[in-house]
Amino acid sequence: MFRILIYPVNTFIRFFEGVGEYVLLMTKMFRSVRSWNLYLGFTVDQMVNIGAQSIPIVMLTSLFSGMVTSVQAAYQFESGFVPNWFVGSVVGESVLLELAPMITGLVMTGKIGATITAEIGTMRVTEQIDALESLSFDPVSFLIMPRILAAAIMFPILVIVADFCGILGGLFAAHSAMDVSTQ
């Protein structure tokens, strides 16, 4: 009985410990702003890793989400009360406002987050982070700042790519499956 009551309390405490550790990490990163110019060159490499390697996944997922949105909108408009040419505006609005940013965020969280976590975790296990500290490098500025800055730069670019591909996928599905004109 006592053990059952303790488990939710421990989970609650661990959650806030994790939030506190995250806040401390972000504080360390922004506090080291004076040394950012030393590690800013690594941001371009991280932009290639984060952005260029995510483009195929973002394109594929947004293409299919635009297709699905187009088919679903046309299915809803089959009643005859709404003309089929409204499919384009529904796809455009839903892809631009909701689907493309959400899908891009999921791709960046899943693929890029896992990649960065594995890379830094491997560096911790092989004691490379300890070696950076012993060489008087700030590991937060050296490892985390370029990745966060690269992700902040590449996210809007990936959203634009997802917007384009989602609308293109919706156009293709509406034109080929439902005989909606491209105009």
Interval 23-37: pLDDT, tens: 988 888 877 777 777
* pLDDT, the chain, mean: 83
DSSP assigned state of 138: -
The CA-atom distances, in angstroms, between 127 and each of 22, 134, 180 are 21, 11, 59
- CA distance linking residue 126 with residue 34, whole number of Å: 28
The CA-atom distances, in angstroms, between 155 and each of 10, 34, 84, 101 are 36, 25, 33, 9
Interval 34-89: pLDDT, tens: 777 777 788 888 888 888 888 999 999 999 998 888 888 877 777 667 666 677 77
Interval 133-175: pLDDT, tens: 888 887 887 888 888 888 889 999 999 999 999 989 888 887 7
